[in-house]
Structure 1
């Protein structure tokens, strides 16, 4: 089989390279097993051959790796010793044993794997709050109103709780701390480049809600395990963040709706409350929406720009990119009711897709 001419194999190869860049030797090894077995027309080929959509856009490699981690977290005795998340450790010298465990898992649980593949990969990466905080603070500073948070593609809604996290941030001006000191979750981020703006000492949140085609009910044990499984099994820091965020959400679960993004966003924009700034935001969601959804969302914002008043401001905060393979960036567009129907667009800077750092553009906040 020609690796270059098969979309599944090419998607696997691309994700293997991404694992190298992002520092997950375990997930790289799992996907190398999947690639080799796919090329040999084994169980992985049987599971994925004839995939209806684009394998890269649909994250087929992540679905494969996710099911293996899901199985390890569920107590698969052959897989668990290779996963730090299960108390084990990945060893390069044990790749043959890992390969046997991976392929045996797919073979024994073929039906379960197919069901799992219907899930959408959702890491609900709370590390992204480390850069989203900049946008929320700037929007609050400029409008001087409580924020009404509306997240599209919210997954379990963990980032809707951003104000309940503690932040330890390295900046050009030295260390910066924000948020409750006794939070179960501490977010570390590095704000490089220009000096950052002063953060609002407190960001008032009027209410918070999110939508997702497949919202994660963290009260459901299997859904919760699947959410954990999307975080690669050798990334201890990311896993610790997720577990800490889940402990916060257990106490204050956000309101989530199962809804199409375009229709939900249109309704939120249309029903903006007075005396609050409606902030529609998303992080690493835009590439997964089809063109018609993107156009509908853009149209909703364009129409809203004509109706915004000083007591119904609207913001669109984006930590996203235009194609799955490009870097992320943080930006927002704000309609204040006094800055015209197109509002102001502010590009804050390029950032790591997990929120580990951002390169601040000089002077973005001086308006």
Structure 2
């Protein structure tokens, strides 16, 4: 059995701890590793890395992890470490990833990979030159709802795809009366915060993974809540956008144009089935997918509503859709991508969601902010290394 030692940087943060350690690496470890197609297994040995010694010690003891450290540079230089994972602040990420790749470590990282397109492209270039296996978290493509949605696309269910609409977000409390459920740096531009920077890198890979290449963006980034309270109860100016409204022109592999609209907001109250939902409409059918559930309506089963504002609605539109079955066991999306990435490391092959894909996400965020500032539609040029 192969054992891969994984330095997990930023593991005390929300995403690093909950999704990557507790719901991915520890279950893989406790199951005896991942079984590869040839029947062999690869086991994982996490090393917790962060800046808070007390938190690291506490988490290590809680989860039976033998090794932890506050010395990031030292663990990157350790010849026994195979993989460096990063879930720390975006502003610190490029230096960590570059140092790890130069040390010959495989990398797996949260996104965005950098705050600027220039830095993201440089990382992608370094990844190509170093020859390491580099993976970037594309977790939403592994979610059960989007797996089902992609399957409908592959089966030709929609006919010619016309449009996609996405709604994401929830109310993040300001922090004065009720504590905010997101860290305060998310709302400070100078610390790398902002909805556009955070989520457009996700929407880029979602659009690419389900529909096709993104060709243009028209966006409006807004700071709806100008004052928030930090973890110490102190008020601060929210300098980053807390909502982003985007229109994206997408081209399918068949050459068909698709219009995608995605609203992202931390200043919205949820009136939908899940925190994120995507609806695809096509000539032969439509489907709506969330994190887990996906429902669809075929052309032949589409009712014929008639607009009449003088009468109350008597039909239940939601009841007219049928649920799309999973037809397979769909595990946690982060864990599934980790398992795929570990197999790629052992096989010495590139991961399908790498640093170039991440650079395109950073590019979309940059152009989205530029579009908002200038009030115009921007085309997206191709990135070359």
Same fold (TM over 0.5): no
Q: What TM-score, normalized to structure 1?
A: 0.30
Specify which structure has the higher proportion of helix: 1
Q: Which has the higher contact order (CA 8 A, sep 6+)?
A: 2
Higher strand share: 2
